[in-house]
Amino acid sequence: MKPYLAAAIQMTSVPDLQKNLVQAEELIELAKRQGAELVGLPENFSYLGAEEEKIAQAPAIAQASVKFLKTMAQRFQITILGGGFPVPVGEGKVYNTALLVDPSGTEIARYEKVHLFDVNVPDGNTYRESSTVMAGIVLPPVYASKDLGTLGLSVCYDVRFPELYRHLALKGADILFVPAAFTAYTGKDHWQILLQARAIENTCYVIAPAQTGQHYTLRHTHGHGMIIDPWGLILADAGDTPGVAIAEINPVRLEQVRRQMPSLQHRVFV
């Protein structure tokens, strides 16, 4: 693993596939111009609209999303994470799928979100992700890269389940991806502290691309896509507008923190 720059992209995706892909490409290009070699796109990067519309368009969204990720990886010679898009599985449902692609355009890791957001938020909004999404049944993968370190995947609501990240850490993860479309109401209180907790307890970098702003009707997300170091320090924060958070991933810093705070070695209960 070498020192390199990573980017967490922040978007305001809408119910328009092509418009979202144009926005994503512009932000990927911006990240590349600033030197990023590892780029993460948020959950729902290619489509964020009403559930029934998402299901109706899912085959087209899935096909376009995969093609887009492979094209961007090759064009900009980056490793890229598409943080979540619908892949049809039949019976009117989809998997919320995160896809990691290397600079050759080859898929190197895929994760189907296991924790589904079925919550009555205190602001009056109700979310029932399970009405259209089928939960994955496989623990998220890690991908070991000689240059970039070992990357672990997750999606949004997963961040509330620390056992998933401990699994990734014990599989050797150095960097934890948490692409999200976090609600504005919960995000203001929980987003940053949950990300910092996952970084600190696993002594890993966290790369958290995010959705921000108003998407359609009542759907409003928190933003603050960020990159956090293994000590829990916020290295970059995209704020509340579309943009890019960029920071260095440094193996020396990773080793230093793990030497100073070897908590993973002190586990008693497995």
Please identify every residue annotated as catalytic.
43, 113, 156
Q: How far apart are CA 38 and CA 72, in angstroms?
A: 12
Q: What is the total residue count of the chain? A: 270
Specify which residues 145 forms β-bridges with.
149
What is the three-class DSSP state of 186?
Answer: helix
Residue type, 190: H
Is 85 within 8 Å of 111 (Cβ atoms)?
Answer: no
Residue type, 233: L
What tokens appear for 55 in the block?
């299901």
Q: In what order do the strands lie in the sheet with 205-208?
A: 142-145, 149-152, 175-177, 205-208, 226-228, 234-237
At 100, which helix (H) or strand (E)? Answer: strand 93-101
Using CA atoms, how far residue 62 sits from 52, 68, 237, 251, in Å, is 15, 10, 29, 35
What is the three-class DSSP state of 251?
Answer: helix
Specify which residues 52 forms β-bridges with.
none
Strands 210-216 and 219-222: antiparallel
What tokens appear for 77 in the block?
């010679």
